[in-house]
C-alpha cells in the first residue's frame, strides 16, 4: 500500500506551515485561506484549519531509505527535540520485529511524528535532507474496536495484517505504507499521550478499491494514474 494523500485538521496553521516548510524543509505545494499542502516524497500532506478541532495529536511516520537513520538523526538534532523510549540514552528506537529503526519528535501542535527506516528499503548515498523522505509511511487511526476496524480494512482495501496484533494494536499494510489501528486512549509510543480520534481523510493505493467512512475517518482509493 502507498499513502498518496493525508488531510489533517489544525488549530495552529501558521505554526505548522513554518515547521513543515522551514524546519523540515518540505516543499509548499499549495496554500489557500483555510488550508496548505506540502510534498513528502510520493505523498501530499494537507493541514486544514479547524479552530473547533479537539485538543490532541495525530500520529504520522515518514519513510527513509534503509541506511539513513544515523544521518537523519544528525540532520534533525538541531531542528527538533527527540522523544526517547523509556530507559534509553539514544533517540534511535530499534523495532526488531519490524526490522526497522525510528526517531520520534513532535510538531508544534504535539502531533507525534516519526522518521522510520526499514532494512528492506532501498539504500541511498545522497546527502540527507527533506528530499530523502520517501513518503508518508504510517497514519495512526484510534478506534473503539481495533479488531472490527482492522477487519474492515482487510475486506474493503485488502490490507493484510503486518506482523503481530492484539486487542489494542494492529498495523495494516506493509513497510511502504501502514495504517496503525489502536484502541482510543492507548498511549502513543514512546509517549504517555492517549490516542484520540481526530478528523482525517486519506487517499491510498491498495489492492482493494473500497471506501471507508468510520466516525471521523474517510479512506478512499487514489485515482488511477493516466496511461501515457
What would the pLDDT profile of 43-90 be if each residue is shown by its tens digit? 999 999 999 998 899 999 999 999 999 999 999 999 999 999 999 999
How far apart are the C-alpha atoms of 53 and 36, rounded to whole Å? Answer: 17
Q: Which residue has the higher pLDDT, 226 or 114?
A: 114
The pLDDT value given to residue 228: 39
Q: List, as one string, the DSSP characters of 136-186.
A: EEEEEEEES-HHHHHHHHHHHH-PPEEEEEETTEEEEEETTEEEEEEETTP
How much is the average pLDDT of 91-117?
A: 97
CA distances from 43 to 7, 35, 140, 188, 212 (A): 11, 16, 16, 23, 19
What would the pLDDT profile of 151-162 be if each residue is shown by its tens digit? 999 999 999 999
The pLDDT value given to residue 226: 42
**Residue of 180, 101, 132 whose CA lies nearest to 24:** 132
How much is the average pLDDT of 121-146?
A: 96
First to last CA, the chain: 23
Positive or negative, the Cα torsion across 88, 189, 193, 83? positive
pLDDT at 227 > cutoff 60: no
How far apart are the C-alpha atoms of 173 and 132, rounded to whole Å? Answer: 22
Could you tell me the pLDDT band of residue 224, with boundaries at 50, 70 and 90?
Answer: low
- Is residue 129 within 8 A of residue 71, CB to CB? The reply is no
Q: DSSP code of 129? A: S
Tell me the Ramachandran region of residue 28: left when phi exceeds 0, alpha when psi lies from -120 to 50, beta otherwise: beta
How much is the average pLDDT of 178-193?
A: 97
What would the pLDDT profile of 3-54 be if each residue is shown by its tens digit? 999 999 999 999 999 999 999 999 999 999 999 999 999 999 999 999 999 8
Return the CATH architecture of domain 2-221. Roll (3.10)
CA distances from 147 to 24, 125, 209 (A): 35, 41, 20
> Mean pLDDT in the chain?
95
How far apart are the C-alpha atoms of 110 and 16, rounded to whole Å? Answer: 10
User: Picking from 102-116, 174-188, 211-225, which range would have the lowest pLDDT averaged per residue?
Assistant: 211-225
Q: Where are the domains of the chain?
A: 2-221
Amino acid at each position: 500500500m502507498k499513502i498518496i494523500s493525508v488531510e489533517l485538521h489544525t488549530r495552529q496553521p501558521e505554526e505548522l506551515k513554518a515547521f513543515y516548510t522551514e524546519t523540515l524543509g518540505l516543499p509548499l505545494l499549495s496554500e489557500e485561506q483555510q488550508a496548505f499542502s506540502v510534498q513528502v516524497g510520493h505523498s501530499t500532506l494537507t493541514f486544514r484549519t479547524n479552530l473547533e478541532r479537539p485538543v490532541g495529536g495525530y500520529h504520522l511516520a515518514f519513510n527513509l531509505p534503509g541506511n539513513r537513520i544515523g544521518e537523519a538523526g544528525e540532520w534533525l538534532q538541531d531542528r527538533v527535540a527527540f522523544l526517547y523510549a523509556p530507559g534509553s540514552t539514544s533517540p534511535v528506537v530499534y523495532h526488531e520485529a519490524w526490522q526497522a529503526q525510528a526517531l520520534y519528535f513532535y510538531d508544534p501542535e504535539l502531533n507525534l511524528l516519526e522518521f522510520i527506516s526499514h532494512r528492506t528499503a532501498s539504500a541511498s548515498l545522497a546527502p540527507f535532507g527533506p528530499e530523502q523522505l520517501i513518503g508518508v509511511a504510517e497514519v495512526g487511526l484510534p478506534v473503539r474496536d481495533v479488531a472490527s476496524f482492522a477487519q474492515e480494512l482487510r475486506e474493503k482495501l485488502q490490507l493484510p495484517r503486518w506482523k503481530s496484533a492484539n486487542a489494542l494494536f494492529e498495523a495494516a499494510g506493509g513497510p511502504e505504507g501502514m495504517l496503525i489501528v489502536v484502541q482510543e486512549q492507548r498511549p502513543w509510543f514512546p509517549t504517555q499521550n492517549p490516542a484520540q480520534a481526530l478528523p482525517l481523510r486519506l487517499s491510498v493505493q491498495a489492492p482493494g478499491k473500497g471506501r471507508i467512512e468510520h466516525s471521523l475517518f474517510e479512506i478512499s482509493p487514489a485515482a488511477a494514474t493516466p496511461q501515457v
